[in-house]
Amino acid sequence: MSECYLSKYLHNQEVKDTRFFDADLIFRGESLYELFRIIKKIPLFWEDHISRLYLTSQITGLKIWLDEETIKNQVSDLIRINSVAEGNIKLVFNFRKSGLRTRKNFLIYFVEPVYPTPNQYLQGVNGILYQASRINPTAKVINQNLRIAVYKKLIEKGAYEALLVDRKGEITEGSRSNIFMIRDGHVFTAPDPVVLPGIARKHVLSICRSRNIPLSFEKIKRSDLEVMDAVFMTGTSPRVLPFSRIEEFRFNPADPVLMNIIDGYDEKIHTYIAGSHV
């Protein structure tokens, strides 16, 4: 699968043909990024994504040189140029050392969307456990080595997502998602400082609070999976997606608390799109 999708992308605010996309501009050096979903030409939860992008810039010390208005106008241009209303867009700010200088590149492009099927939402997906943890989990920085290693393991095991397990045997997050677990109507997720502050995660936490669903911030050990009723992931593409199985552990993808959360998330998306203007 190519990193860049559809016919055109933007590089340093210039329109370019996807055939000439240079992936080295993404994966060499250091890259800050955001991936967000486009629905009816509207960037879903835009304010959350752009805030996290600037937060990542502060955490890493890699300064973003464009303001929010310029970035959003570039997003609108990309949508118009490619004549699409739905999809996933990636923003990348790349910093590459060249002697005493730092070369900077800003790219906006569509990535090929891989959305769960209706059947996967109903029946859940398979997951695996993977021994790894992020060096700086709260910053959204491209880690190509981890990405490739996990992808190979997912293909080998025929799984949808990998749950990362740290050296203490505790589950923190997914390789490309945040993770939640449910037991006896109580929702568990890892503490904020040890995970990426996912946008979908933020809205799920809000749903739990507004719908009076008990919520705890704890890291869950591998062995604790045996007593969980349900496990689900959140992310830009999967939204709120249940697991049916993780390794030898099985879960209920139709858990009533999980269904309540899915309903709340769908409602948030509808409200946001209905109240936004292109």
Domains parsed from the chain with CATH numbers: 5-111 (3.30.470.10), 118-273 (3.20.10.10)
pLDDT, tens only, 43-102 = 999 999 999 999 999 999 999 999 999 999 999 999 999 999 999 999 999 999 888 888
pLDDT, tens only, 201-222 = 999 999 999 999 999 999 889 9
Tell whether the model's pLDDT for residue 148 goes beyond 90. Answer: no
**Residue percentage of the chain with pLDDT more than 90:** 81
Tell whether the model's pLDDT for residue 194 goes beyond 90. Answer: no
Q: What's the pLDDT at 100? A: 82
Q: What's the pLDDT at 151? A: 87
Q: What distance separates the 2 farthest-apart alpha carbons in the chain?
A: 58
